[in-house]
Amino acid sequence: MPLPSVAVFAMGGTIAMAGRGEHGVKPSLDAGALIDAVPQLADVASIEARTFRLLPSPEVTIPDLFALADAIEAAVAAGAAGAVITHGTDTMEESAFVLDRILAVDAPVVLTGAMRNPTMAGPDGPANLLNAVRLAVHEPARGLGVTVVMNDEIHAARFVQKGETSNPAAFRSFPPGPLGWFAEGAVRIAYRPGSRHALAVARDAEPVPVALLTVTLGDDGRLIERALDAGYRGIVAECTGGGHAAGWVADRLAEAAGRVPVVMASRTGAGEMLRRTYDFRGSETDLLARGLIGAGWLDGLKARLLLTLLLMAGADDAAIRAAFAAWLDPDPAV
Ligand code: ASP
């Protein structure tokens, strides 16, 4: 039996960093070098490797991801059982979330990378890459949406977060935990996320600037106005707790919500935004009544990307509200 084929797209990141100089490593290794470092891959899949970008992940852009989505869809249409993307870990959760929103494939699409670069003792990149390819050829992984594989765990794009700077166990999924794991080379899937909420965004659409601001103790919220002056077309405010801000910050957020969509997420990074618990100036009920849109259980980074994609798709206020509400409803129609 011929082995299934997997398209591997290298984007850069620590997994591809080498050349340890005076100031550390930088993106250097192409897709071929990453594959050659893991001979065990030859027993799992036939690999089509392509160096798509060679970037530190903070430099990955939405147009890069749209181009990558086109390439993944083309590879799957040409017969690949799945796709693996090697990517820097710093923004991996964001790239995974964008791809999960826009890809029109059922085949497994798996992002992976490394916390320890190849010049360090115990680099995790090779083991992560091997696991990612195992998942990409795993038939039950079809229809799971985009996943992140790190440190022997499988995370759904909608939940995954990088929560540590250097520990190989840096990735976690809030609220439900990883959707699976690997043991002795076997893939285990513990649960399947619900509907995927895919968006139709033209692949050549211009990125729309959306600001992500954090509400903090003692701040007067002047950045909110500055963001509008600077041309941001939407704002995501990471509010305190379940959706709160000082009354004077709430006033500025409400004013902004009269001009652009303003979404409230939680600066805690985890848990669902409240909707009906508190009743003070600047509480969640006040902010919602004054036009803000709740992010549901999406964290600020993901809410910002969702709002960006919706604006790129030309969504109006009602469509934006419906799209965010869909994350809380069991059977979204958008
Ligand atoms: N430290 C990063 C990484 O883990 C660098 C990056 O995100 O490109 O890959």
Q: Per-residue DSSP letters for 187-227?
A: EEE-------------TTPPP--EEEEE--TT---HHHHHH
- The reply to whether 37 and 150 lie within a common domain is yes
Average pLDDT over residues 267-294: 97
Average pLDDT over residues 81-93: 98
- Rounded (5°) CA angle 114-147-84: 60
- The encoded tokens of residue 159 equal 């939940």
CATH number of domain containing 81: 3.40.50.1170
Top mutation candidate among 52, 85, 90 for ligand 1, by most atoms within 8 Å of CB: 90
β-strands 153-156, 146-150 pairing: antiparallel
The answer to whether residue 196 sits within a structural domain is no
The answer to whether residue 98 sits within a structural domain is yes
The answer to whether residue 132 sits within a structural domain is yes
- The reply to whether 179 and 232 lie within a common domain is no
Q: 57 in ligand 1 pocket by Cβ < 6 Å?
A: yes
CATH number of domain containing 294: 3.40.50.40
CA of 265 to the centre of ligand 1 (A): 25
Average pLDDT over residues 162-166: 97
- The encoded tokens of residue 278 equal 């508190």
Residue 330 has what pLDDT?
Answer: 54
Q: 89 in ligand 1 pocket by Cβ < 6 Å?
A: yes
- The encoded tokens of residue 329 equal 């409803």
User: How crowded is residue 319: how many other Cβ atoms within 10 Å of its Cβ?
Assistant: 13
Q: 86 in ligand 1 pocket by Cβ < 6 Å?
A: no
Q: 59 in ligand 1 pocket by Cβ < 6 Å?
A: no
Structural domain of 30:
5-189
- Tens-place pLDDT, residues 9-58: 999 999 999 886 778 888 888 999 999 999 999 999 999 999 999 999 99
- The reply to whether 241 and 312 lie within a common domain is yes
In order of 80, 175, 187, 195, 281, the CA distances from 139 in angstroms are 12, 26, 10, 19, 52
Which atom of ligand 1 is closest in space to residue 15's alpha carbon?
Answer: 9
- The reply to whether 235 and 178 lie within a common domain is no
Query: Last residue of a domain, which of 189, 219, 242?
Result: 189
- The encoded tokens of residue 255 equal 């004013």
Residue 55 has what pLDDT?
Answer: 96
- The reply to whether 236 and 185 lie within a common domain is no
CA distance 284 to 264: 9
Q: At 332, is the pLDDT very low, low, confident or very high (cuts 50, 70, 90)? A: very low
Beta strand segments in the chain, E: 5-12, 17-21, 24-27, 46-55, 82-86, 109-112, 146-150, 153-156, 160-162, 171-173, 180-183, 186-189, 210-214, 234-239, 262-266, 293-294
Q: Which residue blocks in 44-202 are alpha helix, DSSP H? A: 62-77, 92-102, 125-136
Residue 1 has what pLDDT?
Answer: 84
- The reply to whether 309 and 267 lie within a common domain is yes
Which phi-psi region, left, alpha or beta, contains residue 218 (left: φ > 0; alpha: ψ -120 to 50)? left
Average pLDDT over residues 265-292: 97
CA distance 119 to 211: 36
Average pLDDT over residues 102-124: 96
- The reply to whether 185 and 43 lie within a common domain is yes
**Which residues make beta-bridge pairs with 238?**
214, 265
- The reply to whether 312 and 248 lie within a common domain is yes
Is residue 119 part of the annotated active site? The answer reads: no
The answer to whether residue 332 sits within a structural domain is no
Residue 334 has what pLDDT?
Answer: 33
pTM above 0.85, yes or no: yes
**Number of domains making up the chain:** 2
The answer to whether residue 221 sits within a structural domain is yes
Top mutation candidate among 89, 93, 120, 301 for ligand 1, by most atoms within 8 Å of CB: 89
The answer to whether residue 86 sits within a structural domain is yes
The answer to whether residue 204 sits within a structural domain is no
Query: Last residue of a domain, which of 189, 221, 248?
Result: 189
- The reply to whether 142 and 241 lie within a common domain is no
User: How crowded is residue 220: how many other Cβ atoms within 10 Å of its Cβ?
Assistant: 10
- The reply to whether 122 and 176 lie within a common domain is yes
